[in-house]
Chains A and B, each alone.
Chain A
């Protein structure tokens, strides 16, 4: 089954404790992206990757890091989480680079930073 898998689905943690949210896709997609979803703000892009070892900032990159060492994986790293990063996070992938392709989303990771 074609899918984007995120882990964990839920996480409660404390300020400053480094965490990683994993994302994996099994569709051999080139493009992967991370979004955060907040009430009244919709989906905002954090980082995206056009292919292995190629990443770039989206609209709200502050406080986040990403890496793309393999085509299927695109982890999101919060080096020193803060309460304003409490949000619902989505990973997405699309077959080819860019904004003119349909995106496949994971089911989300709800992060609470205390």
Chain B
């Protein structure tokens, strides 16, 4: 059972564009929604995270939008740059399934072309 559904699996945008990656979750016990960025040969690194008491969080060029009623959240990258080319994972964490865990989406490979 895929508890966090992420789309699209791949995305190509031109420099300066605004890629949007979407995620949907099922378990309302989740209370932490991070995004991780992964470069080739490296482990995922926390990019930005949101908790369900706010609808939007912005850090630099990265913004999370959160819709609690729809159980959806998305990552927007403003003024995207070639250096943003990476794989992005959304995740949902908390006491889902009765124990503390984090569930990841399948990942989105983003390519920003100059």
* A residues adjacent to B (C-beta < 8 A): 4, 31, 33, 35, 40-45, 48, 50, 56, 58-59, 90, 92, 97-108
**Besides the contacts A99-B94, A103-B46, what 14 more A-B pairs have beta carbons closer than 8 Å?**
A35-B104, A40-B9, A41-B106, A43-B104, A45-B103, A48-B101, A50-B100, A98-B93, A98-B94, A98-B101, A99-B30, A99-B100, A105-B45, A108-B42
Q: Contact check, A107 vs B42: say whether CB atoms are below 8 A apart.
A: yes
Q: Contact check, B43 vs A45: say whether CB atoms are below 8 A apart.
A: no
Instruction: List, in ascending order, chain B residues with CB within 8 A of A56's CB.
Output: 99
CB nearest neighbor in B for A44: B104
Instruction: List, in ascending order, chain A residues with CB within 8 A of B6's CB.
Output: 42
How many residues of B are counted as interface, with CB atoms below 8 angstroms from the partner's CB atoms?
Answer: 29
Instruction: List, in ascending order, chain B residues with CB within 8 A of A92's CB.
Output: 43
- Dominant SS among interface residues on chain B: strand
- Is B19 part of the binding interface, using a Cβ–Cβ cutoff of 8 Å? no
Tell me, rounded to whole Å, the shortest Cβ–Cβ distance linking B106 to chain A. 4
CB nearest neighbor in A for B31: A100
Interface residues of B in 14-51 (CB under 8 A from A): 30-32, 34, 36, 41-46, 49
Give which listed residue, A42, A45, A102, contacts B89 with CB less than 8 A.
Answer: A42
Give complex CA distance A65, B96 in Å.
23
Q: Contact check, A98 vs B46: say whether CB atoms are below 8 A apart.
A: no
CB nearest neighbor in A for B107: A42
Give complex CA distance A103, B45 in Å.
8
Q: Contact check, B43 vs A105: say whether CB atoms are below 8 A apart.
A: yes
Tell me, rounded to whole Å, the shortest Cβ–Cβ distance linking B30 to chain A. 7
- Is B77 part of the binding interface, using a Cβ–Cβ cutoff of 8 Å? no
CB nearest neighbor in B for A98: B100
Q: Contact check, A58 vs B101: say whether CB atoms are below 8 A apart.
A: yes
